[in-house]
Structure 1
Amino acid sequence: MRFPEFVNEDEWEEKTLVEVAEIITGSTPNTKEIENYGVKKLFASPADIN
């Protein structure tokens, strides 16, 4: 099942996470500092990637 706008498109190319993102480990920035979120970086925990 696909979104309607992708019905006639080619098959999706499967890639690993390291092929499309830079993975950096460490602590998550303080959530009270708004400048850390919603701009250029996506912070995800293993629980977010299921």
Structure 2
Amino acid sequence: MRRDIAALMDCDTVSTLPGREHSKGARLEVPIAERLGTTVVYAHDPVSMG
């Protein structure tokens, strides 16, 4: 998980999958990505892909 969080600093976009609310890692990564200004795309929500 430490490597994943560090890798967020090099990402332009993070894509999530349905059920992310049940993932300990995703529950940490999404807010960190948002605070870094990274685009977060919700795979179950095609409107957010625009």
Query: What TM-score range do you get, normalising by the shorter chain?
Result: under 0.3
Structure (1 or 2) with the greater strand fraction: 2
Structure (1 or 2) with the greater helix fraction: 2
Bigger-Rg structure (1/2): 1
Normalising by structure 1, report the TM-score. Answer: 0.26
Relative contact order, higher structure (CA 8 A, sep 6+):
2
